[in-house]
Amino acid sequence: MSDREKTHDAKSDEPPMEAARYPDGSILYPAHPLGPDGQEPIEMVDLSEYRATVVTWTTSTATPSGVREPNHLAIVEFTVDGESVRAIGQLTTDEVAIGDAVEPVYAPELRDPDAGIREPDSQSWDGYRFRPVK
Amino acid sequence: MDRVAIVGASMTQFGQREGWIRELLAEAGRDCLATAGIDGDDLEHLYVSNMASGEFEGQTGVANAVAHDLDALPAYTARIDQTSSSGGAGVHSAWQSVASGASDLTLLIGGEKMTHRSTAEATDVIASLTHPAEYKHGVTLPSFAGLTARRYLHEYDAPRESLAKVAVKNHKNGVDNPHAQFQKEVDLDTVMESPIVADPLRLYDFCPITDGSAALLMCPESVASEYADEYAVISGIGGATDTHVVHERADPTVMGGVVDSSTIAYEQAGLGPNDIDVAELHDMFTILEFLQSEGLGFFEQGEGWKAVEEGVTDRDGELPINTSGGLKSKGHPLGASGVAQVYEIYKQLTGTAGPRQVDAETGLACNVGGFGNCVITTIMEAGQ
């Protein structure tokens, strides 16, 4: 997968795409209370500042209530300071292939919080989609 | 150590059923007790495998309810939820209860009532097992399958048709299973031309939404002959857990829970992949049959698709997989599936599988929860 440098500064009014760095050097997205080495994070990393590479993608046509249909999804891989970190998220388009470069694009609401089974107040509903880089 | 014997087994009709969860569970329980000629009040432990009766039907407390309905009071009872592997987890709990000496006669019933819900509602109930970072993007279990299938085809240069051939094979097997939801063959063109559900996977790459139940009766092998002339023993069983967040796994085409759970089961049984004569795998999606058959060591990594292409896993092949029709044809009532997998291996090992019968002395069932998040592997042998 690609090893890309920081591409741009995140917009100040958008929340970070927060991954956690752990004492063993690993970075996980989303952040977990404990890392692979069983220790707490030492700092947060904003992935929205980086480009990623598409590991795989799909277009889902049987989506639950409150989710856009079709729903383009991808697993992507960032490289931050030589460390790989993967993320999953919606794609802005299905015009994409394995190996393509993408960049995170903020979306204030990824699905309708009131339409699904999960309690709306139990989690956040904003986040980052991935857009192919021309 | 006294091994754990399965001395009775039952499976109800899978499909769209009129009964609700309590009725489905009681039906399988009564049928299973009848196979061994015992009553509910003979039971010492009673486990119920069920993922989401509260979410699907608004009925919680199903273990207590079915214990009463079967006149099993005051047997110890508990509901086992491990999402799609609730059935396998129930097998593990029932096995533990007997192996530990805590119970000399344990009934396990697995069941789910789902078809009264729309596809969108059922999909959301199941998707609610995902991490918030996945759920907010609308990630579902079928979409995990699409993501993994595309990577698998890319990584191993496998033809798309190889996935379709899993569906063709398992539907063919299901024709001879009177309890299967679909007792109907499908051809390659039908699978390949069916609507896209999660690209590159199509409708016939997915199991249906199903109502149904199944049950197993377990006791120490030393007293098995008191209940049955023919029985099977659990010679190895292992459970393992993988990451909650699926994309964190090092290789998207490897199910670590399958590898880890089967390592435990093989070691306990003193057997290896080459010793297995027949297997029931969790083909909720066609791609899962490849991932499991490789993770279990039946085939090398990235070679599972070739075995399907070459007919190795056909009913008359070297290693028959999913003689029951699998989840694909038989149906997938979540909490029942892992129990029904063991039911099929029990039927094969006791020589009572009818037209589905293959020559087998050892069998394996692999039940997958989430997208490999939790896995139970059970190895069984014919009783002596």
Distance CA B379, CA A42 (A): 43
Partners of residue A130 on adjacent β-strands: A91, A104
Question: Do A65 and B119 lie within an 8 Å CB cutoff?
Answer: no
Residues in chain B within 8 Å Cβ distance of A66? 138
Question: Do A89 and B138 lie within an 8 Å CB cutoff?
Answer: no
Give the class (CATH, top level) of B4-117+209-226: alpha beta
Q: Is the peptide bond before A33 cis (omega within 30 degrees of 0)?
A: no
Distance CA A79, CA A67 (A): 29
Q: Which pLDDT does position A11 carry in this prediction?
A: 59
Q: Which pLDDT does position A13 carry in this prediction?
A: 81
Angstroms from A58 CA to nearest CA on chain B = 5
Q: Evaluate the CA torsion angle B172, B176, B181, B184 in order and state its sign.
A: positive
pLDDT tens string A94-124: 999 999 999 999 999 999 999 999 999 999 9
Partners of residue B220 on adjacent β-strands: B4
User: What one-letter code names the amino acid at B190?
Assistant: T
Mutate to test the interface with A, among B51, B56, B163, B248 (most CBs of A within 10 A): B248
According to DSSP, residue B15 is labeled: B
Q: Which pLDDT does position A3 carry in this prediction?
A: 43
Q: Which pLDDT does position A4 carry in this prediction?
A: 47
Q: Which pLDDT does position B69 carry in this prediction?
A: 98
Q: Is the pLDDT of residue A51 over 70?
A: yes
The half-sphere exposure of B79 on its side-chain side, counting CA atoms within 13 A, is 21
Give the DSSP H or E segment for A85.
strand A83-90
Q: Which pLDDT does position A8 carry in this prediction?
A: 52
Per DSSP, the residues of B57-119 read HS---HHHHHHHHTT-TT-EEEEE-BTBTHHHHHHHHHHHHHHTTS-SSEEEEEEE--TTS-H
Give the DSSP H or E segment for B197.
strand B196-198
Partners of residue A78 on adjacent β-strands: A52, A85
Do the beta carbons of residue A86 and residue A29 sit within 8 Å? yes
Per-residue pLDDT of chain B (384 residues; tens, 9 = 90+): 789 999 999 999 999 999 999 999 999 999 999 999 999 999 999 999 999 999 999 999 999 999 999 999 999 999 999 999 999 999 999 999 999 999 999 999 999 999 999 999 999 999 999 999 999 999 999 999 999 999 999 999 999 999 999 999 999 999 999 999 999 999 999 999 999 999 999 999 999 999 999 999 999 999 999 999 999 999 999 999 999 999 999 999 999 999 999 999 999 999 999 999 999 999 999 999 999 999 999 999 999 999 999 999 999 999 999 999 999 999 999 999 999 999 999 999 999 999 999 999 999 999 999 999 999 999 999 997
pTM confidence score: 0.97
Q: Is the pLDDT of residue A48 over 80?
A: yes
Provide ipTM, 2 decimals: 0.95
Q: Give the Å distances, CA to CA, from A108 to A14, A86, B357.
A: 9, 21, 56
B128 touches chain A (CB under 8 A): yes
Question: Do B133 and A127 lie within an 8 Å CB cutoff?
Answer: yes
Q: Is the pLDDT of residue A9 over 70?
A: no
Cβ neighbours of residue B353 closer than 8 Å, sequence gap 6 or more:
B323, B344, B347
Q: Is the pLDDT of residue A5 over 60?
A: no
User: What one-letter code names the amino acid at A104?
Assistant: P
B196 touches chain A (CB under 8 A): yes
Domain boundaries, chain B: 4-117+209-226
* Three-state SS at B142: helix
Q: How many CB pairs under 8 A join A and B?
A: 125
Q: Which pLDDT does position A1 carry in this prediction?
A: 40
User: What one-letter code names the amino acid at B18?
Assistant: E
Instruction: Report chain A's C-alpha Rg in angstroms.
Output: 15
A118 touches chain B (CB under 8 A): yes
Q: Is the pLDDT of residue A2 over 80?
A: no
Q: Give the Å distances, CA to CA, from A54 to A67, A115, B54, B206.
A: 22, 29, 38, 25
A19 touches chain B (CB under 8 A): no
Question: Do A56 and B252 lie within an 8 Å CB cutoff?
Answer: yes
Give the DSSP H or E segment for B145.
helix B141-156
Q: Is the pLDDT of residue A6 over 60?
A: no
Q: How far apart, in Å, do the first and last CA atoms of chain A sit?
A: 18
Residues in chain B within 8 Å Cβ distance of A87? 247
